[in-house]
Copies of this chain bind each other. A is one copy, B any other.
Amino acid sequence: MVNIALLGFGVVGSGAAEVLTENKSLIEKRLGCEYKIKYILDLRDFPDSPFGDLIVHDFNTILNDPEVSVVAEMMGGSHPAYDFTKACLLAKKSVVTSNKEVVSTFGVELCRLAKENGVRYLFEASVGGGIPIIRPLINDLSSNCVNKISGILNGTTNYILTSMRDNGATFEDALKKAQQLGYAEANPSADVDGIDAARKIVILAALASGKLIDPKTIHTEGITKITLEETKIAQSLGYTIKLIGYTELTPSGLVALVSPRMVPASNPLCRIDDVFNGVLVDANMVGEVMFYGPGAGKLPTASAVVADIIDIISSQSYAPKTIDWTQATESDQCDFEEYSCNRMFIFRGDLPEFEYAGRVEECDGLNAFIPSNSISEKDASAIADKFGASLVSVYRIL
């Protein structure tokens, strides 16, 4: 009998309880052993829940119970989630989590503690919700060097951008609708400012490179400045604007950033709409593979949490695989100023054909200039000045 404790009985926590209960006989058959949820830690009481009897308020009840060998942390936020995780690993309990904030900030230390204590720290649910992506990167693409990963990693912003494109909603209206539908929080900053996607892309970058970058230090742009006009010009030129988490192992180091990008119709991420997520991996032997599915939500995220629990239980008889990350230093990373990619410059006002190589497309009074060579934002501004036009925005092209 394996005893499991859940930390947090919010959306994901209650989902994990549901998955562990609904699919119990099937999972126990696959495991060849029995399990039970022994405790659920939450500040609140849930007298009407079938799991109400399992609620405890004191973390030490779980920590000090030697019968509990697997703990699923689904509290969100850095503290006390990090502190509880650390305490569990030191007490030789394996931990699984959906908490990207903790993994992206403290992942190096927590993976090391797991290894030192002969237990495991798994976080499939921290990126892409229910989409299998962490374990496939570790196991299925183990024969490859991963060159690049680009992903639609945040369902809320993807819903908003899809709504702007397909329904002509403004950012504000689309956000309001997303909040009404429960896709966005009352304070939507973590989503719309790209913070959530930044946490996820550094986790994927660490899986590709072994180096974990502090998510607070990467270039992070959100979607709040995207206008309906830009959405339209993108579409008329065969692109869709998506919030893309991107990482690449360049010859001069690791790059990770989050920004809105012009995604061409030929890129499979172009067709990932609404709240869905997609992760496109470019690796040296397999080429491009994509993982698609529900990037958030109660049961999908819980499905990944429970897959990690199953992985741990089914491997308890042998030495666990370990994840060895180090914190990325400046020398591991490419100087962001030197990281170049194709861009689209959007101008208001006439922009006649001019000496720069590239193509200019006109749409609804806006001009989009896609240079064939990488030019700087400063150069683009100078072009605008020269023709009495004004530079409205700059988009990276995926």
Determine how close the nearest CB of chain B comes to the CB of A138; give it in whole angstroms: 9
- State whether A140 touches B132 (Cβ < 8 A): yes
- State whether A26 touches B145 (Cβ < 8 A): yes
Give the interface size class of chain A.
35 or more
Determine how close the nearest CB of chain B comes to the CB of A249; give it in whole angstroms: 11
Does A311 sit at the interface, judged by CB under 8 A?
yes
CA distance in complex: A140, B301 (Å): 12
Chain B residues with Cβ below 8 Å from A102 are none
Chain B residues with Cβ below 8 Å from A310 are 142-143
- State whether A140 touches B144 (Cβ < 8 A): no
- State whether B144 touches A23 (Cβ < 8 A): yes
- State whether A287 touches B27 (Cβ < 8 A): no
Which of A36-44, A113-121, A149-157, A289-297 touches B?
A289-297
Interface residues of A in 285-310 (CB under 8 A from B): 285-294, 297, 299-300, 302-304, 306-307, 309-310
Partner of A293, one of B26, B124, B290: B290
Name the CB-closest residue of B to A292: B290
Chain B residues with Cβ below 8 Å from A286 are 130, 293-294, 299-300, 303-304
- State whether A288 touches B294 (Cβ < 8 A): yes
Does A319 sit at the interface, judged by CB under 8 A?
yes
Chain B residues with Cβ below 8 Å from A354 are none
Q: A30-B142, A139-B135 are in contact. Are A285 and B299 (CB under 8 A)?
A: yes
Residue of A140, A268, A318 with highest tally of chain B CB at under 10 A: A140
Interface residues of A in 257-304 (CB under 8 A from B): 268, 271, 283-294, 297, 299-300, 302-304
Question: Can you list 18 A-B contacts (CB < 8 A)?
Answer: A22-B284, A23-B285, A135-B135, A135-B139, A136-B136, A136-B140, A142-B306, A143-B302, A143-B304, A285-B300, A285-B302, A286-B303, A287-B299, A288-B293, A288-B294, A290-B290, A318-B318, A318-B319
